[in-house]
Structure 1
Amino acid sequence: MIGYRYSYNVIGFGGEEISRSADRLARLGYDAMEVVGEPEKHDPKEIKKAADDAGLEISSVCPNFTPGRDLSHPDPERRSGAQRYLRSLADFAAEAGAPLFIVAPTAYGRVQPAAEAREEWLWAVEGVREAGEYAASAGVDLSLECWNRYGTYMLNRLEEGARMWRETGLSNGGVMADTFHMNVEEASLTEAVRGLGGLLNHVHLSDSNRLAPGLGHVDFAGFIGGLEEIGYGGYLAFELLPGLPNRLGVDAGLDEPTLDEVAGQAIRHSRASERAGVSS
């Protein structure tokens, strides 16, 4: 397969009007956009209209797991808060026309267990299962994300994500691969996605420094070649924190890249990597 569909997480555009983000992505050749999962702040109907007007799809909904949204915390209220949030995400995704939303088992930044680790694992499995069952009733899938050790202690490698997903018994979804987190945790990005096989259902692309592909040291041609080997057919979504690859450049009087330049760099480099990976 050649010709992956590309999406862009609009969080990288700093909260600008969604129609402006959609128009930019369409102009740069994107197929879809990934939107921020805060149902109380954003109108899914407005998002869908902006995407439709620009000729884009909504690839996915990216969540925000704050301390009060933690599926594995010993505090029942935090676990309940996470469930309420995930049910609202499922409804939000369905109304916006997104096929999936991303889920993680802990609040971001909790790098130590607050109870016995095995007990927290079981709470997480139960929580993901409940969220997935609700999402299935809304016609939406989940994508279970693994963060690096500086974001969570629980799921760091894709093989751990696959284990948790299998324990949920769910069929509506799978595991997500994020090259930024994988760069920290996986011995080989390519072997990690090969090991997931058919469980891989979403991909986040960013370079080793969380910038656009080509501004760090991730081998995207090899990674995309691995996706090709397992027959991955989902979106490749960029989750970037735009800025200069070397912040010292600010002191040297260099201009920061524009939003167009960041998004353009991402898709150009990835398409070139795609051609190189498929032909190798």
Structure 2
Amino acid sequence: MNRLTVQEQHVPGNSLEEKADVAQSWGFDGLELRSAGDLGFAARLPSLKRAAAAGVYMPTTCVEMSHFIGAFDAGLRADAIVQMRSQLSVMAEIGGVGVMTPASYGMFSRRLPPFEPPRSVEGDRAVLVDALGQLGEHAVAEGVTLFLEPLNRYEDHMVNRLADAASLIREVGSDGVRIVADTYHMNIEEADPAQALLDVADLVGHVQASDSNRLEPGAGHVDWSLFGATVQAIAYTGSIAIESRLSGPAADVLPTVPPLLRRYL
């Protein structure tokens, strides 16, 4: 059965150990971390190592930065790669699995004015292949994985579907880069979310779960029985992280999530 994690910002506590205790009392197995830029994640290394030594399960981290590997500005792209390299190394040092990143977030959408981005489709692909190649090599050297997350069309214009991510990863050809499948974005972008997962089964490295309205599972209309069956069908055995907004106080709504998901996983 897949282990369930919840993102750290939703859980009360003055330390990761305290947060993990609360998360476990709610039915989760551990935490998904959030990793800030400006080497902020590396600055947390002492507390992260203490938590790891105490047995806190924290396999993955989700970037929390102002710019990403697909930025239009070359300097921002270079900085994003520096940040991601550092975050991959930190996860390796604490025995984690990997770090996830989108191509970009909130930088441009073809669904909103001015509709046409300042860089061509070919240019987008070139910068992403270059960044993923560099980071994949570093991830392999560190023994961890970079997870590329497709976002919906209103949040990113470059990588929206699982197939988009798979195409890039296959071109890069690195075992250090895999897909993170997020049910919220899939609900918007995939005509058949189950088939989309089946089509890229060999490249799925991480899964994030939130409902159709970006709230916690159970607060929208995602078919969680189909989700569970598909996760089993692709033989995905990694963790499933709750990355969502909440429909009410965390202590009220999050404990309902593990029983719901475990019913089908």
How far is 1:51 from its partner?
Answer: 4.8
* Residue 50 (structure 2) aligns with: 49
Question: Contact (CA 8 Å) 1:12, 1:240: kept in 2 or not?
Answer: no
> Structure 1 residues 14, 168: CA separation in 2 closer, same or farther (over 3 Å shift)?
farther
Aligned-partner Cα distance in 2 for 1:209–1:124: 29
* Residue 91 (structure 1) aligns with: 89
Aligned-partner Cα distance in 2 for 1:48–1:186: 38
* Residue 278 (structure 1) aligns with: none
Match for residue 184 of structure 1 among 182, 188, 194: 188
The number of equivalent residue pairs is 256
Unaligned segments of structure 2, at least 5 residues? 111-116
**TM-score of the aligned structures, taking structure 1 as reference length:** 0.85
How far is 1:105 from its partner?
Answer: 1.8
Secondary structure of the corresponding residue to residue 63 of structure 1: strand
Does residue 13 (structure 1) correspond to residue 11 (structure 2)? The answer is yes
Does residue 226 (structure 1) correspond to residue 230 (structure 2)? The answer is yes
> Structure 1 residues 130, 26: CA separation in 2 closer, same or farther (over 3 Å shift)?
same
> Could you give the per-residue CA deviations for residues 36-86 of structure 1, whole angstroms, max 9, x where no partner exists?
112416513312423543x432120100241xx332334221111111111
Does residue 40 (structure 1) correspond to residue 45 (structure 2)? The answer is no
> Could you give the per-residue CA deviations for residues 206-225 of structure 1, whole angstroms, max 9, x where no partner exists?
11112221110000110110
Secondary structure of the corresponding residue to residue 70 of structure 1: coil
> Could you give the per-residue CA deviations for residues 191-211 of structure 1, whole angstroms, max 9, x where no partner exists?
111111111110000111122
Aligned-partner Cα distance in 2 for 1:57–1:48: 12
> Could you give the per-residue CA deviations for residues 66-110 of structure 1, whole angstroms, max 9, x where no partner exists?
1xx332334221111111111111122112321111022224442
* Residue 148 (structure 2) aligns with: 144
Aligned-partner Cα distance in 2 for 1:27–1:74: 44
Aligned-partner Cα distance in 2 for 1:155–1:118: 13
Identity of aligned residues (%): 29
Secondary structure of the corresponding residue to residue 273 of structure 1: coil
How far is 1:22 from its partner?
Answer: 1.1
Match for residue 215 of structure 2 among 180, 201, 211: 211
Match for residue 266 of structure 1 among 229, 254, 257: 257
* Residue 64 (structure 1) aligns with: 64
Secondary structure of the corresponding residue to residue 160 of structure 2: coil
Secondary structure of the corresponding residue to residue 214 of structure 2: coil
* Residue 161 (structure 1) aligns with: 165
Secondary structure of the corresponding residue to residue 40 of structure 2: coil
Amino acid at match of 2:50: K
Question: Contact (CA 8 Å) 2:12, 2:19: kept in 1 or not?
Answer: no
> Structure 1 residues 91, 15: CA separation in 2 closer, same or farther (over 3 Å shift)?
farther
**TM-score of the aligned structures, taking structure 2 as reference length:** 0.89
* Residue 236 (structure 1) aligns with: 240
How far is 1:136 from its partner?
Answer: 1.8
- Match runs of 1:69-88 below 5 Å: 69-88=67-86
Unaligned segments of structure 1, at least 5 residues? 245-256, 275-280
